[in-house]
């Protein structure tokens, strides 16, 4: 049974009808009186005598032209012979967010569905159809059936989300299915807006490079929102609208060249929890025109300091969330703070001022310059170059962080850290390493805290290949393996048309001569 | 009508007749019969009763026998011009008429008796017997009254000609005959005519200039031929024309009939006399 994948081209059957009509319309000949046609008739007679196929050629011209036109029309209608030995067809549908892109009223997924339904219609009756979907990074088998109606319903029910699709994983799954069917040879067809270069796969590419703009990223902190918009089409001017907790607070226009991004900052009221940025202008893919982000607020930390050390205070204030207070050593248990820094030599950094697991020896001369005791959280990023130390109280307990010779000059343990020397006895506070050391200690004991972040919708992940489509709808010629089932006759029709076109050219080369009239001589 | 200058050039020419004229009246052609003209011919022995004024006395003194001098008798010849006046001759009628007038003038100035027939399907038109130079004007008047028309078969028209007298016969025709001109020439030879064929063809017939889709309409038969005139078609026509001319020439040559092609592309006045000489018409 022959079906047509593109029956809408049936209107082109008017062309052979037109050829037939024109054939019977008399060619316009200019009349010319001559003394006698005696010699002309002889010339024609000789001409025909030298070409015995002349009459046959004249009679062949019309059917050749008609046949050529019919083949061309059939080729446009994409005839397919369905039937043959039934096997298995695996259809893989890309359900990534970019398949929502709309063009001429149809999304790419709609186009893919149409092509898939045409293919299903042309399959043999007993063909086993497997439908796989590639979505959210996974390939899933939606359905395996020999019932074409069931397969059609499954295809119609497909919807795509806002995530990505790992086509490769879906192809791997399909290949595994194909390996199970080595006898019949499963045919793989992928419907996607990505370029699928895999061998042995029929790729049906949908989408025609519609223009798309997107809110690429949004980040918010107290008082301000920063958004970046991307333009995947031609240069344009976009209007970005910022909303704070659902209320529009600001709109800004920005020009974005083709293929570029642009950043925009908005001001939001204090106390805003969720900031949203949306592109006002509609485009082919609406799902990526909006993104939202929670407003990040950091929590203040209090550090109680007993020693009078300007160096230490300055180093502590580098972190904006840290507030330093002075406290008396004997009033620490009643002082509310997140971190306590006690003493001058050693200097104990602790979350719990009541006790410490560090012990220290008598003060002694340092037997070498300060150096890092290997990789540890307190010395990350420190160079410890030319750091001199006069005296120290070697520490015991915890893990060594800094060494002076073989003595532990600084150490850390769970919930506390210690520096076993007086900061005035070293040139460390004058080095760049000192504020780094203090920040490392703070990060170790008092990591930065933020408020509980409200949940927001993740922006649709974007890949340029998703929205900048490749070729227009095509079906690549692929090998299906196994026995041939159902055959597309389009190429045969077009090849036949070309052959007949050549034949028509050869036949029509000689002048077409007719004799009329009566009489003799 | 031919110009006086051209006619004066013709005065130096005389139609060539291979056979001996056998006319009735005196003319300027040599007759097979011996007579009393001034031109010596031969001797024979005296027979009692012969005219003694013709005795050659020198021969008597030399041979001591009586001999008579014999002289050529000069007589006129009959010249017939058969002019094809079918419709196909219309385009080259002027050329054919000039050829007819030329042959006629040569005949008239040569002392011959001339008769011209215009051959037409609806009946041949016959001129009166003309002789002498002054009859040229009457000839022209006769030709003025002839117009080519109708479909004509030369062979049939020639057979309708009555009273052909032995003599010269000029056939002036395009010779578009399916069976060729051979039969007509054979018939004329049977009628004791010494023939010459003059075939005028127009410039279009010699070198047609056509392009595109053309419907050729035969002016004589009305038949139509539709062609797509391109170089191949024109080339084929030229080959056919050459073959046709060769056939006509061959028919004449086999019968020892002088043949002359008048090319309408050329100037008649410059062409005709060399052709007359070259083809042994004069």
CATH number of the domain bearing residue B117: 3.40.50
Q: Are residues B201 and B114 in the same domain?
A: yes
Question: Considering CB atoms only, which of A27, A512, A519 is closest to B223?
Answer: A519
Q: What is the CATH number of domain A213-282?
A: 2.60.40
Contact list in A for residue B205 (CB cut-off 8 A) is 34-36, 39
Q: Please, where in chain A does CATH 2.60.40 lie?
A: 213-282
Q: Could you say which DSSP state residue B52 is in?
A: G
Specify if B7 maps to a domain: no
Mark which of B49, B75, B101 sits at the end of a domain: B75
Q: Between chain A and chain B, how many beta carbons pairs sit less than 8 Å apart?
A: 131
Task: Extract the tokens encoding A427.
Answer: 């040139």
Q: Are residues B39 and B168 in the same domain?
A: no
Specify if B19 maps to a domain: no
Query: A512 CB near a chain B CB, below 8 Å?
Result: yes
Domain count, chain B: 2
Query: B93 CB near a chain A CB, below 8 Å?
Result: no
A-facing residues of B in 119-158 (CB < 8 A) are: 151, 153
Task: Extract the tokens encoding A330.
Answer: 């004997």
Q: Are residues B61 and B90 in the same domain?
A: no
Query: A26 CB near a chain B CB, below 8 Å?
Result: no
Q: Are residues B178 and B102 in the same domain?
A: yes
Kindly determine whether residue A39 and residue B176, on different chains, have CB atoms separated by under 8 Å. Answer: yes
What's the pLDDT score for residue B208? Answer: 92
Q: Are residues B130 and B234 in the same domain?
A: yes
Q: Are residues B71 and B81 in the same domain?
A: no
Specify if B43 maps to a domain: yes
Question: Considering CB atoms only, which of A35, A513, A518 is closest to B226?
Answer: A513
State which H helix or E strand residue B172 sits in. strand B167-172
What's the pLDDT score for residue A479? Answer: 34
Nearest residue of chain B to residue A514 (CA atoms) = B226
Q: Are residues B183 and B253 in the same domain?
A: yes
What's the pLDDT score for residue A242? Answer: 95
Nearest residue of chain B to residue A42 (CA atoms) = B240
Q: Could you say which DSSP state residue A307 is in?
A: S
Contact list in B for residue A509 (CB cut-off 8 A) is none
Kindly determine whether residue A30 and residue B241, on different chains, have CB atoms separated by under 8 Å. Answer: no
Q: Please, where in chain A does CATH 3.40.50.410 lie?
A: 86-209+465-482
Kindly determine whether residue B216 and residue A35, on different chains, have CB atoms separated by under 8 Å. Answer: no
Specify if B216 maps to a domain: yes
Query: A25 CB near a chain B CB, below 8 Å?
Result: no
For the entire predicted model, the pTM comes to 0.42
What's the pLDDT score for residue A239? Answer: 94
- How many angstroms separate the CA of residue A45 from the nearest CA in chain B? 10
pLDDT of B42 > 90? The answer is no
For residue B202, which of B241, B160, B231 has the smallest C-alpha distance? B241
Query: A43 CB near a chain B CB, below 8 Å?
Result: yes
Kindly determine whether residue B204 and residue A35, on different chains, have CB atoms separated by under 8 Å. Answer: yes
What's the pLDDT score for residue A395? Answer: 95
Please tell me the number of Cα atoms within 13 Å of A294 on its side-chain side: 12
Query: A39 CB near a chain B CB, below 8 Å?
Result: yes
CATH architecture of A86-209+465-482: 3-Layer(aba) Sandwich (3.40)
CA dist., res. A36 & res. B82, Å (int)? 20
Q: ipTM surpassing 0.85, yes or no? A: no
Sort strands B130-131 and B113-119 into parallel, antiparallel or unpaired.
antiparallel
Residue A405, phi-psi category: left (phi > 0), alpha (psi -120 to 50), beta (remainder): left
Q: In which domain, by residue range, is B123 found? A: 77-278
Nearest residue of chain A to residue B223 (CA atoms) = A517
Specify if B141 maps to a domain: yes
- How many angstroms separate the CA of residue A508 from the nearest CA in chain B? 12
Kindly determine whether residue A511 and residue B227, on different chains, have CB atoms separated by under 8 Å. Answer: yes
Specify if B11 maps to a domain: no
Question: Considering CB atoms only, which of B92, B219, B240 is closest to A43?
Answer: B240
The label of the residue with tokens 């002088």 reads: B258
Contact list in A for residue B84 (CB cut-off 8 A) is none
Sort strands A301-305 and A138-145 into parallel, antiparallel or unpaired.
unpaired
Query: A46 CB near a chain B CB, below 8 Å?
Result: yes
Please, are residues A461 and A97 in contact by the beta-carbon 8 Å criterion? yes
Q: Are residues B157 and B206 in the same domain?
A: yes
Per-residue pLDDT of B149-204, as tens digits, reads 888 789 999 998 887 888 899 999 999 988 889 999 999 999 889 999 999 999 99
- How many angstroms separate the CA of residue A37 from the nearest CA in chain B? 5
What's the pLDDT score for residue A168? Answer: 75
Question: Considering CB atoms only, which of B174, B225, B232 is closest to A40?
Answer: B225
Query: B202 CB near a chain A CB, below 8 Å?
Result: yes
**Cα-based torsion angle of the residue sequence B218, B220, B223, B228 in order, rounded to the nearest 10 degrees:** -10
Please tell me the number of Cα atoms within 13 Å of A215 on its side-chain side: 31
Kindly determine whether residue A46 and residue B220, on different chains, have CB atoms separated by under 8 Å. Answer: no
Looking at every residue in chain B, the average pLDDT score rounds to: 84
Kindly determine whether residue A42 and residue B174, on different chains, have CB atoms separated by under 8 Å. Answer: no
Task: Extract the tokens encoding B254.
Answer: 């086999």
Question: Considering CB atoms only, which of A27, A40, A514 is closest to B237?
Answer: A40
Mark which of B75, B90, B111 sits at the end of a domain: B75
Give B53's pLDDT tier (boundaries 50, 70, 90).
confident
Contact list in B for residue A519 (CB cut-off 8 A) is 151, 218, 221-223
Q: Are residues B31 and B112 in the same domain?
A: no
Best to test chain B binding among A25, A31, A36, A54 (most B CBs inside 10 Å): A36
Q: Are residues B138 and B272 in the same domain?
A: yes
Task: Give me the residues of chain A with pLDDT under 70, please.
Answer: 1, 5, 23-27, 46-59, 82-86, 136-142, 180-185, 195-201, 207-210, 298, 449-487, 509-521
For residue A73, which of A4, A2, A22 has the smallest C-alpha distance? A4
Contacts for A447-450 with beta carbons within 8 Å, 24 or more apart? A448/A298, A448/A299, A448/A319, A448/A321, A449/A298, A449/A299, A449/A301, A449/A321, A450/A296, A450/A297, A450/A298, A450/A299
Contact list in A for residue B236 (CB cut-off 8 A) is 43, 46-47
Please, are residues B107 and B72 in contact by the beta-carbon 8 Å criterion? no
| Dihedral (CA of A154, A156, A162, A168) sign | positive
Kindly determine whether residue B92 and residue A519, on different chains, have CB atoms separated by under 8 Å. Answer: no
Query: A383 CB near a chain B CB, below 8 Å?
Result: no
What's the pLDDT score for residue A432? Answer: 82
Specify if B224 maps to a domain: yes
Query: A432 CB near a chain B CB, below 8 Å?
Result: no
Q: Tell me how far the alpha carbon of residue A166 is from its chain's centroid.
A: 10
Q: Are residues B106 and B181 in the same domain?
A: yes
Nearest residue of chain B to residue A515 (CA atoms) = B225
Query: A282 CB near a chain B CB, below 8 Å?
Result: no
Kindly determine whether residue B227 and residue A44, on different chains, have CB atoms separated by under 8 Å. Answer: yes
Q: Are residues B64 and B181 in the same domain?
A: no
Contact list in A for residue B220 (CB cut-off 8 A) is 35-36, 521
């Amino acid at each position: 049974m022959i079906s047509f994948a593109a029956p809408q081209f049936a209107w082109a059957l008017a062309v052979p009808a037109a050829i037939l009509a024109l054939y019977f319309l008399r060619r316009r000949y200019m009349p010319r009186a001559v003394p006698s046609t005696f010699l002309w008739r002889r010339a024609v007679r000789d001409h025909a005598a030298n070409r015995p196929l002349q009459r046959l050629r004249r009679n062949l011209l019309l059917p050749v032209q008609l046949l050529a036109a019919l083949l061309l029309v059939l080729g446009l209608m994409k005839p397919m012979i369905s039937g043959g030995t039934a096997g298995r067809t695996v259809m893989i549908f890309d359900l990534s967010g970019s398949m929502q892109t709309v063009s001429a009223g149809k999304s790419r997924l709609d186009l893919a569905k149409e092509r898939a339904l045409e293919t299903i219609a042309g399959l043999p009756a007993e063909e086993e159809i497997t439908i796989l979907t590639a979505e959210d990074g996974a390939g899933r088998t939606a359905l395996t059936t020999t019932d074409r109606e069931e397969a059609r319903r499954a295809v119609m029910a497909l919807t795509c989300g806002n995530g990505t699709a790992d086509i490769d994983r879906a192809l791997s799954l399909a290949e595994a299915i194909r390996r199970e069917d080595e006898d019949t040879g499963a045919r793989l067809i992928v419907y996607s807006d990505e370029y699928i270069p895999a061998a042995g796969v029929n790729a049906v590419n949908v989408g025609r490079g519609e223009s798309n703009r997107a809110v690429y990223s949004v980040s918010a902190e107290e008082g301000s929102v920063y958004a970046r918009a991307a333009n995947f089409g031609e240069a344009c001017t976009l209007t970005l609208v910022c909303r704070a907790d659902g209320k529009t607070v600001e709109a800004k226009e920005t020009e974005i060249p083709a293929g570029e991004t642009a950043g925009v900052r908005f001001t939001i009221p204090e106390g805003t929890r969720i900031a949203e940025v949306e592109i006002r202008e509609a485009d082919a893919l609406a799902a990526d025109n909006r993104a939202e982000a929670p407003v990040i607020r950091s929590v203040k930390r209090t550090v109680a300091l007993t020693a009078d050390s300007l160096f230490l205070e300055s180093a502590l204030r580098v972190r904006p969330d840290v507030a330093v207070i002075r406290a008396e050593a004997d009033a620490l248990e009643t002082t509310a703070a997140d971190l306590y820094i006690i003493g001058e030599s050693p200097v104990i950094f602790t979350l719990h001022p009541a006790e410490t697991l560090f012990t220290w020896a008598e003060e002694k001369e340092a037997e070498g310059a300060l150096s890092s005791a290997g990789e540890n959280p307190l010395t990350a990023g420190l160079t410890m170059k030319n750091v001199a130390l006069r005296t120290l109280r070697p520490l015991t307990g915890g893990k060594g962080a800094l060494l002076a010779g073989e003595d532990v000059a600084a150490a850390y343990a769970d919930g506390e850290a210690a520096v076993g020397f007086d900061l005035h006895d070293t040139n460390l506070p004058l080095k760049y390493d000192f504020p780094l050391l203090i920040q490392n200690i703070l990060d170790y004991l008092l990591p930065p805290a933020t408020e509980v972040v409200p949940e927001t919708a993740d922006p649709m992940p974007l890949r340029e290949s998703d929205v900048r489509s490749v070729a227009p709808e095509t079906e690549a010629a692929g090998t299906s393996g196994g026995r041939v089932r159902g055959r597309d006759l389009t190429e045969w029709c077009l090849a036949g048309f070309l052959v007949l076109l050549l034949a028509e050219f050869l036949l029509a080369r000689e002048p077409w001569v007719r004799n009329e009239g009566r009489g003799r001589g | 009508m031919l110009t006086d200058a051209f006619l004066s050039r013709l005065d130096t020419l005389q139609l060539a007749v291979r056979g001996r004229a056998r006319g009735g009246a005196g003319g300027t052609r040599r007759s097979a019969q011996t007579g009393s003209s001034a031109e010596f011919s031969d001797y024979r022995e005296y027979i009692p009763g012969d005219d003694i004024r013709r005795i050659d006395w020198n021969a008597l003194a030399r041979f001591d026998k009586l001999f008579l001098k014999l002289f050529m008798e000069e007589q006129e010849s009959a010249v017939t011009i058969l002019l094809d006046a079918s419709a196909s001759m219309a385009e080259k009628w002027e050329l054919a008429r000039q050829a007819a007038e030329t042959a006629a003038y040569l005949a008239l100035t040569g002392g011959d008796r001339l008769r011209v027939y215009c051959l037409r399907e609806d009946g041949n038109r016959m001129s009166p017997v003309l002789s002498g130079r002054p009859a040229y004007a009457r000839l022209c008047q006769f030709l003025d009254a002839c117009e080519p028309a109708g479909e004509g078969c030369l062979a049939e028209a020639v057979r309708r000609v009555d009273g052909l007298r032995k003599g010269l016969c000029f056939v002036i025709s395009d010779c578009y005959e399916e069976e060729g001109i051979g039969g007509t020439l054979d018939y004329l030879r049977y009628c004791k005519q010494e023939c010459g064929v003059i075939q005028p063809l127009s410039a279009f017939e010699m070198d047609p200039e056509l392009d595109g889709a053309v419907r050729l309409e035969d002016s004589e038969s009305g038949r139509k031929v539709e062609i797509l005139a391109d170089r191949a078609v024109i080339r084929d026509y030229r080959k056919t024309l050459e073959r046709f001319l060769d056939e006509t020439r061959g028919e004449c040559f086999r019968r020892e009939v002088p043949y002359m092609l008048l090319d309408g592309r050329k100037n008649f006045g410059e062409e005709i006399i060399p052709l007359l000489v070259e083809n042994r018409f004069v």
